[in-house]
Amino acid sequence: MENPAFVHHALVLSLVLFALGTLGVFLRRNVITVLMCVELMLNGVNLAFIAFSRAAGTLDGQVLVFFVIVVAAAEAAVGLAIVIALHRHRDTLDIDAFNVMKG
């Protein structure tokens, strides 16, 4: 297919998404929302990979995106299991409540 002119703009979009995700990770106090902001960052990275892959003309970037998606799935599963275990312990999902290693 012929080259789209917006490949660079896709890169800019990916960086905006990554920055928004970082902002969310710092600002939010709910553990699950923090996890969702991490997923947002991962998506920004995926878009950057696809944009670079398109620019370079090779498929390696897309294969890496495939693996990033798979690993993100595994990470989301384990992360949410940890959230469930934490909730069972402290009965709250506020990040500030988990500042003690004990108990």
Where in 12-41 is the site for other proteins (CB under 8 A)? Answer: 12-13, 15-24, 26-30, 32-33, 35-37, 39-40
Task: Count residues binding other proteins (CB under 8 A).
Answer: 72
Rule CB under 8 A: say whether 75 interacts with other proteins: yes
Which token pair is 32?
């699950």
Interface with other proteins (CB under 8 A), residue from 53, 98, 99, 100:
53
Give residues with Cβ within 8 angstroms of 32, minimum separation 6: 80, 83, 93
Whats the size of the chain, residue-wise?
A: 103
Query: Cα angle at 42 between 37 and 46, to 5 degrees?
Result: 145
Query: Cα angle at 10 between 19 and 34, to 5 degrees?
Result: 30
Interface with other proteins (CB under 8 A), residue from 45, 73, 99, 102:
73
Rule CB under 8 A: say whether 103 interacts with other proteins: no
Interface with other proteins (CB under 8 A), residue from 45, 85, 97, 103:
85
Rule CB under 8 A: say whether 88 interacts with other proteins: yes
C-alpha–C-alpha distance, residues 79 and 32, integer Å: 9
Rule CB under 8 A: say whether 97 interacts with other proteins: no
